[in-house]
Structure 1
Amino acid sequence: MRNYLLEDIYEEDLKKISKALTDLEFTGGLEGIYYIPVPEDLLQAEQKEHINECGPYFMALEVLEEGLKLELLVRARNKLRCSCVCYATTDQRNHMLDYLDNFINDLEISL
């Protein structure tokens, strides 16, 4: 699995991040898992075709004991297995890395 890993984050900062993600209603099905939406304008052609059946699309962010792990896999909320579920394109990946970095900076957390 391809991941973006941020390590050595203070516990109080992780709690701040978790609260902000919960406030945005990005919570997933399991504790500590959050679903970060992929903007529709960044979806691949097949993902756009499948959006009504499989979507919406997201990348999973896991809050770990000392950090964050963002899976670089674009998942579909309504289907586990489909050809539209695939690794992020360069544009999707860059958007999500920038989004996460900016999100953390907006919370005034320095890494």
Structure 2
Amino acid sequence: MRVYQIDELTREDVEKVEARLVQKGWTGSIKGMYYVPIPEEFLGPEQREHLESCGPFFLPLETGDGWIRLELLVRARQILRCSCVAYANAAMREHMIDSLDVLVRELDIAV
């Protein structure tokens, strides 16, 4: 699995991130799992075609003991297996990683 991980965080730092993710409404059904929505302009052509049938699309973000991990596999809310479920393209990957970095900086977390 391809991921972007930030580790060596304190428990307080992870809790700050979790609180912000809950505030944004990105919670999942499993504790420590969040669904980060992908802006439509970063979706690939097939994902745009499948937006109504498979979407919305998101990247899973998981929190753990001293780390946060953003999976770079684009997932679909409506379906588990489809050709539109694929790894993030370069532009999407850069945007989503930058967005997570901004969130961490906004929370004044030193990494």
TM-score normalised to structure 2 length: 0.98
Q: Which residue type is aligned with residue 75 of structure 1?
A: R
Q: CA deviation at 1:106?
A: 0.7
- Aligned length, in residue pairs: 111
**Cα displacement string for residues 50-72 of structure 1 (whole angstroms, at most 9, x for unaligned residues):** 00110000000000111011101
**Cα displacement string for residues 26-69 of structure 1 (whole angstroms, at most 9, x for unaligned residues):** 00121100100110011101100100110000000000111011
Extract unaligned runs of 5+ from structure 2: none
Other-structure match for 1:61: 61
Other-structure match for 1:91: 91
Instruction: Tell me how far apart the structure 2 counterparts of residues 70 and 2 of structure 1 sit (CA, whole Å).
Output: 9
Instruction: Tell me how far apart the structure 2 counterparts of residues 56 and 64 of structure 1 sit (CA, whole Å).
Output: 25
Name the Cα RMSD after superposition: 0.6
How high is the sequence identity, in percent, across the aligned residues? 45
Instruction: Tell me how far apart the structure 2 counterparts of residues 17 and 44 of structure 1 sit (CA, whole Å).
Output: 28
Instruction: Kindly indicate whether residue 21 of structure 2 is the aligned counterpart of residue 17 of structure 1.
Output: no
Other-structure match for 1:107: 107
